[in-house]
Structure 1
Amino acid sequence: MSLSLFDEPKLDSHCHVLDPARFPYAPDVAYRPAGQEQGTLAQYLQVMDAYGIRQSLLVGPNSGYGLDNRCLLDALQQHPDRFRGIAVVRNDTPREELQRLREAGVVGVAFNATLLGTEFYANTDPLLRHLADLDMFVQVQVEHDQLVALRPLLERNGARILIDHCGRPAPGGGLDQPGFQALLALARTGRTAVKLSGYQKFSTQPPPHADAQVFVRALLDAFTLDACFWASDWPFLKAPHRLDMGPLIRQVEQLLPDPADRARLWWETPRRWLGF
């Protein structure tokens, strides 16, 4: 008997745990998630169990926590079999500290050019070389044409690359926009994977974000199901429209009607890349 869509095994490759009651927000952060944008570990575990999400890549959020990874590390310590992590670190973080994070279940560090700009990462060659030596990822969030500036840095240092949210192309910009073409070119490195997620961040339409699908299909063609992950982006920080996990999962069914294809996107490919 075939599994229901919601029981098919999944790995959610981009989600956040925000628990200011246990781990207060840093005093100097630019954005403090509140209300339904907060999501504790206990709440997310319920979501996982309801939707067949067996494992997840927890991303340390710039919102709320900045460089404070305590909430992330607490979740990794409590459930080392279910979670891996992406930490937010200083650009001059030494190799020894990265090694300690790796031993705690962190598989990479986040570059968020959408928040900090591309110039912020101009001095990160040593950090990227450390990540390459440790077989860790640089997880990159860019928008519009920012990847054009970052691409040489990413290509020359050898670290594995994980691109957030389809590279967040400019809405209505088409497939030929330079930033998206730079992303497609990274497929040829053989060490870059991309998350099919965050459509609300580059769509001009409400859910199901029909205008995002041309980018999703181009990424599937370039990267194939061997280097594409699925992600929810739970608990949906700064979302302009109401989002829920169930409709996001149904979208994958429409994109990939074959259960074997969904298994590659949802489970087999991310588990292999992330070392589960």
Structure 2
Amino acid sequence: MEPVRMVDCHVHVFDPARFPYAPDAYYAPAGQELGTPARLAAVLDWHGVDHAVLVGPNSGYGEDNRCLLDALDAGDGRYRGMAVVRNDIPRAELAALKAAGVLGVTLNAALLGVDHYADAGPLLSHLEALDMIADVQVIDDQLVALSPLLDRSGVRVHIDHCGRPDPTAGIDAPGFRELLRRGRAGRAVVKLSGCVKVSRESYPHADLSPYIEALLSEFGPDHCVWASDWPFLRMPERIDYGPLLALLARQVPDSADRRRILWDTPCREFGFPTGTATA
């Protein structure tokens, strides 16, 4: 049987020995949370993952993308990137990032708040003009307030970590309804990831099953991707890479749908080659 090809669509790299953290960093990962490019490559190789999307972290580096760019360069095509940038970044700087393998920027409203992006209209217009991605992380009902800004820009939108819903609020909560609306309209890609961030239950996070089912139904496997969120910062319980892949197999039992989520859709979205394995 042909092995399953895989792309991990949300990981981070931290290499403070070579790229010191910003003095005012929101959080400074240390110890088992460190994820150097060498460690990342070893984890991906061990689990048979061909490619990964390196998401610039607010923790450690903030708007300093040097570590991210170094890993992209050393990866020789294995990776794509999402950068953290200021809202007033010029289009020429975004174009230079794209040339280096950065295909989008993060909008982390879950951490910084929706108001932080009130003046981000020009940024989103630049992203749309360059065919880059707005990689959006929200929590609870923040997507309701953020959606008009996203819709006006026409930018490509990826939603992190299942939209980070509150499992006690139900799938009819305004923020999750808005996420499903975007799925029905084909106006976003959602990452099936980060269950441990919001679940009130331990692995396998059964309280999120209705949310995963709703996302799969409204987005379909052609607008869903998978991600580990390695190296697992500030986790409420132990989490490992292998069990996360096993969880996806449980959430998406159809092997053809899993292939689309793990390979076909991310290759399309991030421009990874679909031929010979990289790893």
- Normalised TM-score (structure 1): 0.96
Note the 1:1-276 alignment, pairs <5 A. Answer: 1-3=1-3, 8-276=4-272
SS in structure 2 at match of 1:257: coil
| Structure 2 SS opposite 1:89 | coil
The 8 Å contact of residues 80 and 105 in structure 1, kept in 2 or not, is answered as no
Q: What amino acid is the match of 2:75?
A: H
- The amino acid that maps onto 2:126 is H
Which letter maps to 1:212? L
- In the aligned structure 2, how far is the partner of 1:188 from the partner of 1:121? 25
Relative to structure 1, the CA distance from residue 259 to residue 188 in structure 2 (aligned partners, 3 Å threshold; closer, same or farther) is: closer
Q: How many angstroms does 1:189 deviate by?
A: 4.0
Deviation at 1:42, TM superposition (A): 0.3
One-letter amino acid of the counterpart of residue 52, structure 1: G
Q: Give a deviation string over 1:200-229, Cα, whole Å, max 9, x none.
A: 111001111111121111001010000000
> How many Å separate the matches in 1 of 2:61 and 2:261?
30
Q: 1:265 to 1:68 in 2, by over 3 A?
A: same
Structure 2 distance, partners of 1:100, 1:250, is: 38
Q: How many residues align?
A: 272
Q: Cα deviations across residues 222-250 of structure 1 (Å, max 9, x unaligned)?
A: 10000000000000111100000011111
Pick which of 186-195 and 27-36 moved more.
186-195
- Structure 2: 5+ residue stretches without partners: 273-279
Deviation, structure 1 residue 181: 0.6
CA offset at residue 199 of structure 1?
0.2
Q: Is the 8 A contact 1:143 1:168 kept in 2?
A: yes
Gaps of 5+ in 1: none
The two structures, once aligned, show a CA RMSD in angstroms of: 1.0
